[in-house]
Amino acid sequence: MSQETKITPRAQDYNQWYIDVIQAAEMADYSPVKGCMVIRPTGYALWENIQRVLDGMFKDTGHVNAYFPLLIPESFFKKEAEHVEGFAPECAVVTHGGGQKLEEPLFIRPTSETIIWSMYKRWIASHRDLPILINQWANVVRWEMRTRLFLRTTEFLWQEGHTAHATEAEAEEETRRMLGVYQRLAEDHLAIPVVPGLKSDREKFAGAVRTYCIEAMMQDHRALQAGTSHMLGQNFARAFDVTFQDDAGQRQLVWATSWGVSTRLIGALIMAHSDDKGLVVPPRIAATKAVVIPILGKKADPAVVLAEARKLADETGLGRGIQVDARENQSPGWKYNHWEQRGVPVRIELGPRDIDSGQAVLVRRDTGEKKPVPRAGIAQALADLLEDIHRSLYARAKAYRDEFTFDVDSADEFRQKLESPGGFLRTHWCGDGVCEGKVQEETKATIRCIPLDAKPEQGACPFCGKPSTRRVIYAKAY
Amino acid sequence: MSQETKITPRAQDYNQWYIDVIQAAEMADYSPVKGCMVIRPTGYALWENIQRVLDGMFKDTGHVNAYFPLLIPESFFKKEAEHVEGFAPECAVVTHGGGQKLEEPLFIRPTSETIIWSMYKRWIASHRDLPILINQWANVVRWEMRTRLFLRTTEFLWQEGHTAHATEAEAEEETRRMLGVYQRLAEDHLAIPVVPGLKSDREKFAGAVRTYCIEAMMQDHRALQAGTSHMLGQNFARAFDVTFQDDAGQRQLVWATSWGVSTRLIGALIMAHSDDKGLVVPPRIAATKAVVIPILGKKADPAVVLAEARKLADETGLGRGIQVDARENQSPGWKYNHWEQRGVPVRIELGPRDIDSGQAVLVRRDTGEKKPVPRAGIAQALADLLEDIHRSLYARAKAYRDEFTFDVDSADEFRQKLESPGGFLRTHWCGDGVCEGKVQEETKATIRCIPLDAKPEQGACPFCGKPSTRRVIYAKAY
State how far Cα B394 lies from the chain centre. Answer: 15
Closest CA in chain A for residue B287: A64
Domain stops at, among B244, B273, B302: B273
Please give the Cα distance from B289 to B364 (Å, whole number): 11
User: Do A252 and A303 share a structural domain?
Assistant: no
Question: pLDDT digits over B12-64, tens only?
Answer: 999 999 999 999 999 999 999 889 999 999 999 999 999 999 999 999 999 99
| Closest approach of A461 to chain B, Cα-based (Å) | 37
Which of B59, B96, B98 shows the shortest C-beta gap to A95? B96
Please tell me the distance from the alpha carbon of residue B317 to that of residue A289, in angstroms, as a whole number. 30
Note whether residue B318 is domain-resident. Answer: yes
* Whole-angstrom distance, CA of residue A101 vs CA of residue A109: 19
- Residue A299 confidence (pLDDT): 79
Beta bridge partners of B97: A92, B100
Question: Are both A95 and A22 inside the same structural domain?
Answer: yes
Is residue B3 pLDDT above 80, yes or no? no
For chain B, the straight-line distance linking the first and the last C-alpha, in angstroms and rounded, comes to 32
Confidence band for B146, pLDDT divided at 50, 70 and 90: confident
Amino acid at A19: I
Beta-strand relationship, A223-233 and A243-245: unpaired
Structure confidence at residue A4 (pLDDT): 63
Determine which of B49, B94, B328 to mutate to test the interface with A (most A C-beta atoms within 10 Å).
B94
Out of B73, B76, B93, whose CB is closest to A96?
B93
Nearest-by-Cβ selection for B38 from A97, A119, A143: A119
Instruction: Note whether A267 and A345 are same-domain residues.
Output: no
Residue A400 inside a domain? The answer is no
Q: Which positions in chain B touch A67 (Cβ < 8 Å)?
A: 38-39, 44, 47, 157
B256 with B296, same domain: the answer is no
**Residue A344 within a domain:** yes
Is A167 found in the same domain as A93?
Answer: yes
Helix (H, G, I), strand (E, B) or coil at B430: coil
Name the pTM for this structure: 0.96
Asked if residues B72 and A33 have their Cβ atoms less than 8 Å apart, the reply is yes
Q: What are phi and psi of B299, to 5 degrees?
A: -95, -10
**A242-284 residue pLDDT tens:** 999 998 999 999 999 999 999 999 999 999 999 999 999 999 9
Whether B71 has its CB under 8 Å from any CB of chain A: the answer is: yes
- Of B296 and B389, the structure prediction assigns the larger pLDDT to B389
Residue A420 belongs to domain spanning: 405-475
Contacts of B11 (CB under 8 A, 6+ apart): none
Q: Look up the CATH number of the domain holding residue B409.
A: 3.30.110.30
Under the banding of pLDDT at 50, 70 and 90, the label for residue B145 is confident
User: Quick one: A216 and A328 in the same domain?
Assistant: no
For residues A127 and A231, membership in a common domain is answered with yes
Mean of pLDDT over chain B: 96
Domain annotation covers residue A2? no
Evaluate whether residue B134 is within a structural domain: yes
Cis peptide before A421 (omega within 30 of 0): yes
* CB-CB neighbours of A208 under 10 Å: 26
- pLDDT digits over A151-196, tens only? 999 999 999 999 999 999 999 999 999 999 999 999 999 999 999 9
Cβ-defined contact of B1 to A67 (cutoff 8 Å): no
pLDDT at B170: 98
Verify that A63 and A169 share a domain, yes or no: yes
- Over residues B318-330, the mean pLDDT reads 94
Residue B36 C-alpha, separation from nearest chain A C-alpha, in angstroms: 6
Whether residue B297 is predicted with pLDDT greater than 80 in this model: the reply is no
Tell me the average pLDDT of chain A.
Answer: 96
* pLDDT at residue A144, rounded to an integer: 87
Among the candidates A273, A301, A336, a domain finishes at: A273
Per-residue confidence at A1, pLDDT binned at 50, 70, 90?
very low
Q: CATH number, domain at A296?
A: 3.40.50.800
Residue of A nearest to B56 (CA): A320
Cα–Cα distance, B418 to B443 (Å, whole number): 8
Residue A478: the pLDDT is 95
Beta bridge partners of B156: B140
B69 in the same domain as B38: yes
Do B215 and B356 lie in one domain? The reply is no
For an interface test with A, the pick among B54, B85, B93 (most A C-beta atoms closer than 10 Å) comes out as B93
Q: What is the mean pLDDT of residues B223-232?
A: 98
Chain B positions touching A122 (Cβ under 8 A) are 29
Q: Tell me which of A40-49, B80-89, B228-237, B378-387 is least confident.
A: B80-89
CATH value at residue A53: 3.30.930.10
Contact B45 A64 (CB under 8 A): yes
Picking from A294, A288, A301, the residue whose alpha carbon sits closest to that of residue A382 is: A288
Same domain flag for B148 and B231: yes
How does DSSP classify residue B186? I
In contact, A389 and A371? CB cutoff 8 Å: no
Arithmetic mean of pLDDT, B256-285? 98
Query: Is A331 inside a domain boundary?
Result: yes
Average pLDDT estimate for B156-185: 98
> Which pLDDT does position B4 carry in this prediction?
63
Domain presence at residue A396:
no
- Over residues A427-475, the pLDDT tens digits come to 999 999 999 999 999 999 999 999 999 999 999 999 999 999 999 999 9
Q: Is residue B460 part of a domain?
A: yes
How many domains in chain A? 3
Residue B2 banded pLDDT, cuts 50, 70, 90 = very low
* pLDDT at A145 exceeding the cut of 90: no
* Of A213, A243, A273, the domain-final residue: A273
Residues A25 and A91 in one domain: yes
- CA distance, residue A147 to nearest chain B CA (Å): 13
**For the ranges A30-34, A211-215, A363-367, B114-118, which has the lowest average pLDDT?**
A30-34
In Å, how far are A17, A265, B93 from A30, measured between CA atoms?
16, 18, 22
- Say whether B47 and A67 touch across the interface (CB within 8 A): yes
Distance (Å) of CA A155 to CA A51, A109, A285, A423: 18, 10, 23, 29
